[in-house]
Amino acid sequence: MRLAKQYKKSMITMTDAYDHILYEGKLFDIPMKENIIIEKSIAFFSDPEPCFIHRNAVLSRLYIEMMELFLGREDKKIEIKSLKKEEQVIVEYIAIEGIAFIQVVE
């Protein structure tokens, strides 16, 4: 839980291939795709119309997956195409198109 507190304060910057900022804000505020939220709600809770509690639980899990993706990396600016395929899937949850780099600013 200590790591979650640390990353709740961390700022994330997402840029495209031309270094244009697509998102700048907190990790736990990154917009997620609605179809992913529903898909995960069905997988976790068998709930195709997630209530507020299930929706927040799904989002928390997605943010924790993202948080774990960023942990332990020396370079805080991560090039998406350099990630392993299973790591790139996590980035595909994000409701922002054209992300080339994600940078964690602690």
Instruction: Give the domain range for residue 58.
Output: 2-105
CA atoms 77, 79, 83, 28: torsion sign: positive
pTM of the model: 0.84
Q: Give the residue from 53, 64, 3 showing the smallest Cα distance to 30.
A: 64
Per the structure, the count of domains in the chain is 1
pLDDT tens by residue, 56-105: 999 999 998 888 887 667 777 899 999 999 888 999 999 999 999 999 87
Q: Do β-strands 77-79 and 21-26 pair in parallel, antiparallel, or remain unpaired?
A: unpaired
The answer to whether residues 27 and 67 touch, using CB atoms and an 8 Å cutoff, is yes
Total Cβ atoms within 10 A of residue 13: 16
Distance CA 38, CA 58 (A): 9
